[in-house]
Amino acid sequence: MSYESAKARFADWGVDTDGAIGRLADIPISMHCWQGDDVVGFEQSTGTSGGGIQATGNHPGRARSPEELRADLEFAYAMIPGKHRLNLHAMYLDTDETPDRDEIEFRHFTPWVEWASEQGIKLDFNPTFFAHAKADDNLTLSHPDKGIRDFWIEHGKRTREIAARMGQELGSPCINNIWVPDGYKDIPIDRMAARRRLEASLDDMLAPSQDRAHMRDAVESKLFGIGVEACTVGSHEFYMGYAIRKETILCLDMGHFHPTENIADKVSSVALSVDELLLHVSRPMRWDSDHVILLNDDILQMAQELVASDILDRTHIGLDFFDATISRTAAWVIGTRNMQKALLRALLLPLERLRGLEDSLDFTSRLTHTEELKDLPYGAVWDEFCSRNDCPSGMTLIGNLDAYQASVSGRG
Ligand code: RNT
Ligand code: ZN
């Protein structure tokens, strides 16, 4: 179907497709660097990621250096319509030096900032509280040993300084997201003590004030992880309260709740209590498995909630998945485009009309509407969005992804 006929079909429902395309072009997605190399990073002496984070698979083509990762990212961004962000983790430093986590400085990341500036990409950042000997017990900021807590507090402070410099250099606030793996494999005696220690450490870390035009702090909760089945210190309730009291951004990772919970339902509730949200859009399968996101009901509902609740301008959309059984570049491209496709569908809803039906308790017509709307030609509008942004779709996209994967599959 041509775009013109699709536009007319949507116009029958009172929906302006050009308006939706225009709005979608202004929504940046923060693409996570760690899909490109299976969460390994570029420190000289890393082991496995630990902390219950697990990339499984050994498909050829994993990026082994910052240069390879940047080349892969450039290709991926070229296959994704619009301008997006890159979400870097502290363990992706690019330097010949070997600073420990409590020694990192902005200069260890300057190649990333120079590259981002050339590419017109803004950066987000994360302290890395895993894949380190001092995190082997799955306790970092809540560790009973003050020396270990202090080590991680210093790491966190440094990432906040680095994030602020990144944001300043690139002219866009860098979201620095704190996730710690802290928890207990078996039933702890004193959860309160662990939570008090985590809170005190976070307070210390966040004490130095930073300009919110340059960086903003976010905190990410989790239900459980492999190895910390009995208790996660930084639970949802912990961070929800913390974010409200300390006025940080709250990060909701879609894999960090019980599998039957609907994460889309949460955003309007938490948005009443915190100014800004960060999402880690992910696809848990039975557990926090971080599968590549599909254009499925979970993602469609999430996008719909952001649009219908009118919180797009205070929600930072980040992605968090990593599949090592498929092409890493294809994973980025598929997942990021799916997030955009979901947002496009939400932007193409006749929301006023649907709200009217709901408010007049006409649930029959609400259901008829939402089901009939599923037959509208979303694909034609998406194709138009891609072509206006010089991006391929369909068979051309598949050909490009295959060719790029073939070009990197010889990496050892
Ligand atoms: C882990 C969290 C966290 C990480 C990244 C690498 O369960 O989801 O966001 O995936 O920081
Ligand atoms: Zn996450």
Please give the Cα distance from 154 to 201 (Å, whole number): 10
pLDDT, tens digit (0-9, with 9 covering 90-100), for 366-406:
999 999 999 999 999 999 999 999 999 999 999 999 999 99
pLDDT at 50: 73
The answer to whether the CB of 253 is under 6 A from ligand 1 is yes
Question: From the CA of 177, which ligand is nearest?
Answer: 1
The answer to whether the CB of 383 is under 6 A from ligand 1 is no
pLDDT at 46: 54
Q: Verify whether residue 7 is a known catalytic residue.
A: no
Q: Verify whether residue 320 is a known catalytic residue.
A: yes
The answer to whether the CB of 182 is under 6 A from ligand 1 is no
Q: Which of 32, 256, 266, 316 is catalytic?
A: 256
Q: Are 341 and 295 in contact (CB under 8 A)?
A: yes
Q: Verify whether residue 253 is a known catalytic residue.
A: yes
Q: How many CA within 13 A on the CB side of residue 108?
A: 23
Mutate to test the pocket of ligand 1, among 31, 40, 53 (most ligand atoms within 8 A of CB): 53
Q: What is the mean pLDDT of each run of 10 residues along the chain (412 residues)?
A: 97 98 98 97 75 87 97 98 98 97 98 98 98 96 98 98 98 98 98 98 98 98 95 98 98 97 98 98 96 98 98 98 98 98 98 98 98 98 98 97 98 84
pTM here is 0.97
Output the six-digit token pair for 334.
């598929």
Q: Which of 34, 179, 332, 382 is catalytic?
A: 179
Q: Verify whether residue 256 is a known catalytic residue.
A: yes
pLDDT at 165: 98
Mutate to test the pocket of ligand 1, among 88, 138, 253, 263 (most ligand atoms within 8 A of CB): 253
